[in-house]
Structure 1
Amino acid sequence: MTNPVVVGVDGSPSSLVAVEVAAREAGLHGTELRLVHAFGWPSLHLPPGGPPWSPAAAGMREMVDGTLEQAEQRARATVPELAVAREVAVGEPLMVLEIESHTASLVVVGSRGLGGFGGLLLGSTGVHLAAHGRCPVLVVRGRPDPDGPVLLAFDGSPAGGAAVAFAFAEASLRGADLVALRAWNTWSEGPDELTHPLDLVVDVDRVQALEERALEEGLRPWQERYPDVSVERRVEFSRVRPALIEATGEAQLVVAGARGRGGFTGLLLGSVSQALLHHAHCPVAVVRGPAEA
């Protein structure tokens, strides 16, 4: 990474945890951390004493400076030698962070906020950025196992190669193992070798073998590039979303593509990624492929 790691800051406990995670990411990749605070008038929580059209009179400057100062202190406590920049923007936070994603290597947000960056569980910040951002998006949620592996939700799609690359890089930098999980069932799209829908139900063993081969072939180039990463391959005949969500309970990070093989082409974010953003037990990184971005 050469571009900065961007983190949305609103002063909430969730955003401060996101700052710590973003600081570690910037430190691992040797790049700058950019603290971004954005506010829009409709959702702005103004203190008493000034009209809403005059931020300076309303004490907004002091409020914003204090919020960013607290965030910077948290970042430097996490990574002391980190290069940190601050940015304040007037505008809807979602749009501000989406614009930031054009020049960022990674955007990090918390799962809940004070209003500006909040409402993830209702489908705003993290889901929107994962669908529309131009770089990987990391949503900090759950209680990750710091000694756990990086979990890759492998879907076998061409666009999913970007998620595979990101997962290997993260595992290498973190000194963590990588678990590549491919869950499939008779409702999911099977390997290209299958020519008839009945193949999915008539010969499960054959499909399992084909899925294992697809996983092996998809990982091989990245295993050669990252020989230091220990990889565990899992191919499970099960419901896809529940299997992945359960596996996140033992992970420090889960990485998924923005849209898998079975997704509708008109959707910018697949159902698996959305399920992880809402229900994963650890932070979720959603990585869009070059064509999607």
Structure 2
Amino acid sequence: MSRSPLTAAGRAAAPSVVAEREGGTMRVMEGASVPGSQAEDRADAGAENRAADRVVPEGLRDWRIVVAVRDYPHDAATIEWALAHTVRGVDTVHLVHAYSPLRLDGCHWQPVARARGARAMAGRRVVAIALQRIAAAYPALGQDGSAVAGTPEDVLEQMSEVADLVVVGDDSLEPATPRPITWRVQDAASCPVVCVPAGYRTEAGSPVTVVVDEQGWDPVLEFGVQVAMRSGAGLQVSRSWSALHEMLPETDEWLADQQRAFDTQLTEWQDRYPAVPISARIELDDAWPGRLRRSSSLLVATSYAAARVRSLPSDPVQQACPIAIVPDGG
């Protein structure tokens, strides 16, 4: 592995999470853990909704964020991740619960009507409970939700056409899942999709890692920068050696030249977003996907590279970080 930082140590990173507008100036609020989540016991209760006098970095884009909810206990980490990367006054959040409809369209028999209504009511209840929990921790953060009839992959694929980001719990880590819903959503979505493992908790200081190939960097780098600005993390840009050459480098000097060329390619991004520390890595072995999932707060890749980054860390003690898949071409 070769690594090169593009910014000086100690450079101010972007402030995190929730912001509010005060007299035309955007200020940051440090969000609290969502009540009832697995991270709640570790949360500092005194930090809830505590104002921090820091300005949100210039260049932050507004996002329409869709959060998929199966039920609150199961998706507490997913909801918490989404809200921790939501900027109040800039982003909007919409919770979505997909429920299986009663496939008897056109039937007006009363028992069928009652069953159809019961399914819709159960879906709305799931959304209402999640919204109540969110409102308790983020009282000034506006959000709403919908219960939509349909399969989760169909509902989320269509929601991705109007959203800037879809956040969903990662069911690929669950046993006996032949083709995870999250993979199907990642492959078909029109916007980036973040899949959050159940119970995941971001470790402070972990970077957002973007995996790049020979071309098509802009969509994944732009998304990675936007996440890094919201979380206060640094951005780490990783390139696997196999994407460059089939054989290992012959000399350290030649590899150093490649690293310098890589740094040069990223200079424009560092100049464009000076508040985000950016570093570059060249991965020299085939174990890089698992290594990056252990050491990152988020692993970002294009649809083309999705199969590679879905690999799990070999060490079962180490939790896998969330994965974001950005559609090819943005």
Q: Report the TM range for the smaller structure's normalisation.
A: 0.7 to 0.9
CA separation in 2, counterparts of 1:55 and 1:214?
63
- Which residue of 2 is the match for residue 272 of structure 1? 308
Report whether the alignment pairs 1:20 with 2:80: yes
Contact 1:255 1:285 in 2 (8 A): yes
Q: 1:12: Cα distance to partner?
A: 5.2
2:130 partner letter: A
Equivalence map 1:178-197=2 (5 Å): 178-184=235-241, 188-190=242-244
Report whether the alignment pairs 1:215 with 2:262: yes
- Which residue of 1 is the match for residue 23 of structure 2? none
Q: 1:77: Cα distance to partner?
A: 3.6
- Which residue of 1 is the match for residue 131 of structure 2? 72
- Among 321, 324, 328, which residue is 1:282 paired with? 321
Number of aligned residue pairs: give it. Answer: 259
Cα 1:32/1:56, change in 2 over 3 Å: same
CA separation in 1, counterparts of 2:80 and 2:248?
47
CA separation in 1, counterparts of 2:288 and 2:63?
34
Q: 1:97: Cα distance to partner?
A: 0.5
Q: Percent identity?
A: 24
- Among 47, 65, 68, which residue is 1:5 paired with? 65
1:219 partner letter: L
Contact 1:150 1:255 in 2 (8 A): no
Contact 1:253 1:284 in 2 (8 A): yes
- Among 138, 141, 145, which residue is 1:82 paired with? 141
Cα 1:28/1:204, change in 2 over 3 Å: farther
* Structure whose residues are more often strand by fraction: 2
- Which residue of 2 is the match for residue 138 of structure 1? 194
Contact 2:235 2:276 in 1 (8 A): yes
CA separation in 2, counterparts of 1:206 and 1:16?
48
CA separation in 2, counterparts of 1:252 and 1:134?
23
Contact 1:135 1:288 in 2 (8 A): yes
After superposition, the C-alpha distances for 1:207-257 in whole angstroms (9 at most, x for unaligned) are 634542453133222111111112232223111xx2232232232222122
2:181 partner letter: T
Which consecutive residues of structure 1, in runs of 5 or more, have no partner in the other structure? 44-49, 192-196, 261-269
CA separation in 2, counterparts of 1:42 and 1:68?
19
CA separation in 1, counterparts of 2:302 and 2:88?
22
CA separation in 2, counterparts of 1:80 and 1:122?
40
Equivalence map 1:1-293=2 (5 Å): 1-11=61-71, 13-27=73-87, 30-41=90-101, 54-56=114-116, 59-112=118-171, 122-141=178-197, 143-184=200-241, 188-190=242-244, 200=247, 203=250, 205=252, 208-209=255-256, 211-239=258-286, 242-260=287-305, 270-275=306-311, 281-290=320-329
State the secondary structure of the residue aligned to 1:179: strand
Q: TM-score, normalised by structure 2?
A: 0.67
- Which residue of 2 is the match for residue 194 of structure 1? none
